[in-house]
Amino acid sequence: MREDFFTLRTVMWDKGKVRMIDQTVLPQRLVYKDYDTWEGVADAIRRMVVRGAPAIGVAAAMGVAVAAQSSKADDKEGLLKDISRAAAGLRATRPTAVNLFWGIDRVVAAARSARGGVDKMVRTVISTAVEMAEEDVETNRRLGKVGEPLIEDGDVVMTQCNAGALATVGYGTALGVIRAAAEAGKCVKVIVNETRPALQGARLTAFELVRDGFHCTLISDTAVGYMMSSGRVDKVIVGADRITKDGHVFNKIGTYQVAVLANRHGVPFYAAAPYSTFDMRRTHDKVVIEERAAEEVFQVRGKRITPKGIAIANPAFDDTPPELISAIVSDKGLIGRPVEDNISSVIR
């Protein structure tokens, strides 16, 4: 059994600052950036210095913590005002991943219920955010154990985007299941979809998996159908940014077409997500899909590849309906088909 899987932490609290791996420069450079204002953290989330649903949830909670720490308020009411302002700014960064809102709500609730004075309230906000980072890794390890039996020795597993250690605080969700299968002694090969336009597959998933010594093969997004029709994919496993109560999985753009193709070719399609990704208050029609800057599409790594004047659409996420999903892996247990009916008995 391997015990040395990707031990880097994506987001951490370090001497009063939020320290995060700068994912915009991976895989060429592995550098950390420190933030001591909530505005800085919000900008990092928007620009995808930190990205991935669980990672942005923890980063945003820590963003509220730096706001609390640097507040000049001398009473609880004033401090709560500063916290609420930071929370509103952080909420406005990215609309789709529900973990962002979950993370912010949790630290704001901790602040509201803190007993004692201003100092106690600040300490409570910081310790709640730090606890969330620790919990994230434990949750992913539990989720990995739940999903590991789905993977057989010798499987070739396809994944979209990056749902790994870099998308969480550590270990990962979809890649957590793959890591858990390898820890259980199974040989797993991974097909990594490049995931245009931000290339999370080519840059980040490839970085993690190569570093961990997995056999992995990068393909262009356009090769997904052929890889399946030629029998080269045994399973698909992806992460999620939001799973609604009616069993729809919102994940990185391209996930839906991978699911349709998997269904066409009889390849099991799994999504893996912690409880913080489930939105048991909304149905799929209420979810906002983030539309990102046109530059991400008309440029490749800063260089224009299209003629000027072309219209661009850049939706960052899509919606995979429950009929295309074989099962959802959560830290609370496996949600089998029909996922839309079984979800509420597992996520409570």
Active site residues: 241
342 is a contact residue toward ligand MRU (CB under 6 A): no
Which of 51, 284 has the CB closer to ligand MRU? Answer: 51
String of contacts with ligand MRU for each residue 24-63, x by CB under 6 A: ---------------------------xxxx---------
Residue 300 has phi, psi (to 5 degrees) of: -120, 115
Binding mask 213-242 for ligand MRU (x = CB under 6 A): --------------------------xxx-
Report how far residue 196's alpha carbon sits from residue 171's, in angstroms, rounded to the nearest whole number: 23
The span of 145-153, 160-168, 212-220, 280-288 binding ligand MRU (CB under 6 A) equals 160-168
Distances in Å between the Cα of 127 and the Cα atoms of 13, 57, 62 are: 10, 15, 10
In whole angstroms, how close is the CB of 252 to ligand MRU at the nearest point?
A: 3
205 binds ligand MRU (CB under 6 A): no
Radius of gyration of the chain (CA): 20
Tracing tokens 């391209």 back to the chain, one arrives at: 254
| Binding-site member from 80, 108, 163, 199 for ligand MRU (CB under 6 A) | 163
In angstroms, what is the minimal distance from the CB of 207 to ligand MRU? 13
- DSSP H or E stretch at residue 329: strand 327-330
What is d(CA 228, CA 224) in angstroms, rounded to the nearest whole number? 6
> Is the CB of residue 326 less than 8 Å from the CB of residue 147?
no
251 binds ligand MRU (CB under 6 A): yes
Q: Of 193, 200, 320, 342, which one interacts with ligand MRU (CB under 6 A)?
A: 200
Q: Which is nearer to ligand MRU, 107 or 204 (CB)?
A: 204
Distance CA 171, CA 163 (A): 9
d(CA 311, CA 56): 30
Q: Distances in Å between the alpha carbon of 139 and those of 42, 133, 177, 213?
A: 25, 10, 12, 23
The correct pick among 128, 139, 168, 276 for binding ligand MRU (CB under 6 A) is 168
Site size toward ligand MRU (CB under 6 A) is 17
Residues that bind ligand MRU (CB under 6 A): 51-54, 97, 161, 163, 167-168, 173, 200, 239-241, 251-252, 316
